[in-house]
Amino acid sequence: MIIENRTFDEIKVGDREELRRLCTQDDLLVFANVSGNHNPMHLYDQDGDGDGQPEAIVPGMFVGALISAVLGNVMPGAGTLYRAQSFVFHNRAHAGDDLLAAVTVTGKNDRDATVTLATEVTRPADGALILSGVAEVEAPRRKIVLNSHDLPGLIVQRHRHFEKILKQAAPLPALVTAVVCPEEPNSLGGALKAREHTIIEPILVGDPARIAAAAAELGVNLDGIEIVEEMDHHAAARRAVALVTEGRAQALMKGHLHTDMLLRPALDKETGLRMGRRFTHVFVMDVPGVMHPILVTDAAINIAPDLKTKVDITQNAIDLALSIGIAEPKVGVLSATETVNPDIPSSIDAALLSKMAERGQITGGLVDGPLAMDNAVDLAAARTKGIVSPVAGRAEILVVPNLDAGNMLAKQLAYISHAEAAGLVLGAKVPIILNSRSDDEMSRLASCAVAALHHARLTGAA
């Protein structure tokens, strides 16, 4: 955006300028952080007056700042300094409102190069006057032209996608979940928090004394929650799988035990939870600044998958994406290059997966590859490379070449891009919820919500 000011000598009484601005939920969060005003009346997810509904009222000074944007960007523009500003508030604006800020020159003072302007902010949708007032500013004497794109951008760290997933899961009946060895505060706390949100109804399988000690450390009681005694981790995992086969549990959830210890009885050919596909892992990631969830697969189970395994990895991820509300999942099969190179096996697998999807061997989504990471998720990068594809630049699912690549990608998104991750194992008869010891409350809740949504879609309970 090029900003060119209007000097004091160029300005005439009666001149008018305006700017439109859509006020978003993120704007309110940014303003709260910058101003230090955390009044819940102005936060999109808070009830500030006790009526049971979030208000999301745009702060008065934020509305007033829209006037300063007109003065600083348009008229007089760059070089302008405030002398005085008065406001009268007539109505309230809310997150989602499109506002029009306007200034009109009412006077000039040659002696000190000041300009007086009538100011107002209106809501064009209904013509409501939000505020009116008078501004007095020092207008610039020299012409200035600059490019405002040089200003650094901001990304708000919030869990917009996980919040949506939690809302989707809220009406569902609680998913009865066998929680295996929740014998320390994090694993037990995650299950209890999901129960508090009515996402799951846990059955705790493990050492009752250790579970009770973890509950005491959290300061919670376990009244009304079934506890199945199994003193050994191997036995606890087997018992949890048995609860599923007996029809008493609809999902498994990892507690304080190794992942392979949990999965071993689930993979048993006779008594386990196999259903024809390979077990594969999917991270559902809420990445700040990305307008949709990112699914990364496989980052936890299949170390060096062959083409047949990658078919299951891709199909499982598509099925999960459909479960969380992505209508037509777009799958980018990653490699180091966007062209097929016989010396790079992952590029050949990617091309084959793309062709298999075209022939109906993978269903429910759009699959394209090979794609490099940049042109899988960034439209500008895809256009620069001349890639014409409904997936390139828009991928919601990223199928990685191997576990090393997937694990690195997921952790880069988590620790560098500040993403949150929900983890699920697919390919079994029921969802298997995998949490890391470092996962926070939102990640654990989201993992349970994703499992509940997937179970509901597969069983027709949604």
Q: How far from each other are the two terminal CA atoms of the chain, in whole angstroms?
A: 46
* Segment 95-111 mean pLDDT: 95
- pLDDT for the residue 210: 95
For position 52, what pLDDT does the model report?
84
Q: What is the largest CA-CA distance in the chain?
A: 94
Q: At 171, is the pLDDT very low, low, confident or very high (cuts 50, 70, 90)?
A: very high
DSSP code of residue 76: S
- Give the per-residue pLDDT at 371: 97
Say if CB 376 and CB 398 are below 8 A apart.
Answer: yes
Structure tokens that stand for 4 in this block: 């060119």
pLDDT of amino acid 462: 56
Instruction: Say how far apart CA 70 and CA 135 lie, in whole Å.
Output: 11
Q: What percent of the chain has pLDDT over 70?
A: 98
Q: CA–CA separation, 260 vs 318, rounded Å?
A: 24
pLDDT-above-90 percentage for the chain: 83
Let me know the angle formed at the C-alpha of 225 by 424 and 236, rounded to the nearest 5 degrees: 55
Q: Can you tell me the distance from the alpha carbon of 172 to that of 198, in angstroms, rounded to the nearest whole number? A: 8
Cis peptide before 76 (omega within 30 of 0): yes
Half-sphere exposure of 64 (CA within 13 A, CB side): 14
Pairing of strands 420-426, 280-286: antiparallel
Any idea of the CA torsion for 12, 13, 17, 23, to the nearest 10 degrees?
A: 140
CA 375 to CA 384: how far, in whole Å? 9
3-state secondary structure of 425: strand
Q: Per-residue pLDDT for 196 more than 80?
A: yes
pLDDT at 148: 66
pLDDT in tens, 247-258: 999 999 999 999
Query: Taking a C-beta distance cutoff of 8 angstroms, is the pair 39, 60 a contact?
Result: no
CB burial string 275-311: b at 16+ within 10 A, e below: eebbbbbbbbbbbbebebbbbbbbbbbbeebeeebbb
In this prediction the pTM is: 0.78
Per-residue pLDDT tens over the stretch 329-372: 999 999 999 999 999 999 999 999 999 999 999 999 999 999 99
pLDDT digit string, tens, across residues 285-334: 999 888 899 999 999 999 999 999 999 999 999 999 999 999 999 999 99
DSSP 256: S
pLDDT number for residue 4: 87
**Cis peptide upstream of residue 27 (ω within 30 degrees of 0):** no
Q: What is the pLDDT of residue 54?
A: 84
- What whole-number distance in Å separates Cα of residue 102 and Cα of residue 110? 23
Of the CATH numbers 3.40.50.720, 3.40.140.80, 3.40.50.40, 3.10.129.10, which one belongs to the domain with range 2-150?
3.10.129.10
**Every domain of the chain and the residues it spans:** 2-150, 277-427
Residue with tokens 């194992």: 425
- Average pLDDT value over all residues in the chain: 93
- Name the residue type at position 107: G
How many residues appear in the chain? 462
**Are 2-150 and 277-427 in the same CATH fold?**
no
- Please give, one letter per residue, the 3-state secondary structure of 112-150: CCEEEEEEEEEECCCCEEEEEEEEEEECCCCCCEEEHHH
Domain 277-427 has CATH 3.40.718.10: yes
Q: Which of 157, 169, 158, 228 is nearest to 194 (CA)?
A: 169
**CA dist., res. 327 & res. 331, Å (int):** 13
